Amino acid sequence: MNLRDLGEDRLLSQLLPHLTLGKAVVAGPGDDCAVVAIRGLGELLVLKTDCVVEAVHFSRRTKPFDVGWKAMMRPLSDFAATSAVPQFVLVTVIAPERTDVRWMKGLYRGLQRASNRFDVSIVGGETSSTSGPIAVSIAAAGFVEKERWVSRRGGQPDDDLFVTGRLGGALKQRHLRFVPRIVESRWLTKNFSVHAMMDLSDGLGADLPRLARASRLGYTVDVESIPLTRGATINDAITEGEDYELLFAVSRRDSARLMQRWRKKFPRLPLTRIGSLNRISKIENRKLPRGYTHFQQPR
């Protein structure tokens, strides 16, 4: 069997549970970021790597600045998902020897502009040659207060599900220029009890089942309520991915206050309740509209 037939989720689930994790590891493989406790420190250390590969995540025609921006912002979006503050990154560039130095400088301008946006320091760089496509991998480290760390796992039955921004249509342009929702995420965990959260990178249709599965819950979604980018269809919003918006669960009794305070704090960024979590019930999941088979809870 090869990697395509197996798929990344199943591959990692086969490889990773066998790993011996130390007691310090609060969240390991399967969450947006790794979260570990450090002796003598009140905060948790948060680690994440993410890579973009030519012909997979960007094309030869993509501007190197945009490649750098996206490569940096993707892992920082995982920090937003964890409500953590990124501080330090290391950059690995795997590129053919024929790569033009100007391309590399453009890449680094994008990397630096993106990291500066969140006061993140690029503290190291490594390059390696390859005979194949260019790959840029970012390793990021940062911290989160013990009481503000959020994973995908903490969703409760009857929690309301929210998404920030609008979904769909990101592949046209926005996926190269997005700004991770770190400010919003930090505000959320400062003011509300966020039970579970993740960033939407593979599309709501792939990502929401991951959050629900991690929380051992089912869900219902009112697909008509999904906030759409102008010109995008519901199907685009569910399947395209690359939105880098936040999906999160809060107690139903906090919902009204959250919506009210959010509108004051972030008047230009929509916050939308799209559904709720529930105890797993095959009957409820059958009620989901046909055509969105991604939305069925596989158990």
**Could you give the CA distance from residue 14 to residue 226 in angstroms, rounded to a whole number?**
33
Residue 36 contacts a second copy per CB under 8 A: yes
In the window 61-90, what residues touch a second copy (CB under 8 A)? Answer: 87-88, 90
Closest CA to 50 of 176, 139, 123: 139
Residue 2 half-sphere exposure toward CB, CA atoms < 13 A: 1
Residue 17 contacts a second copy per CB under 8 A: no
Residue 291 contacts a second copy per CB under 8 A: no
Residue 283 contacts a second copy per CB under 8 A: no
Residue among 55 and 256 whose Cβ is closer to a second copy = 55
**Could you give the CA distance from residue 58 to residue 184 in angstroms, rounded to a whole number?**
27
**Shortest distance, position 58 Cβ to a second copy, whole Å:** 12
Handedness of CA 124, 56, 76, 10 (dihedral sign): negative
**Shortest distance, position 162 Cβ to a second copy, whole Å:** 26
Question: What is the layout of strands, in order, in the sheet containing 160-164?
Answer: 194-199, 246-250, 160-164, 271-278, 218-221
Residue 172, SS3?
helix
Residue 206 contacts a second copy per CB under 8 A: no
* Stretch in the footprint of a second copy (CB under 8 A) among 29-37, 160-168, 180-188, 230-238: 29-37
**Shortest distance, position 75 Cβ to a second copy, whole Å:** 10
Residue among 9 and 222 whose Cβ is closer to a second copy = 9
Number of Cβ atoms within 10 Å of the Cβ of 100 = 10
In the window 107-166, what residues touch a second copy (CB under 8 A)? Answer: 108, 112, 116, 119, 121-133, 135, 137, 139, 141, 143
Residue among 51 and 259 whose Cβ is closer to a second copy = 51
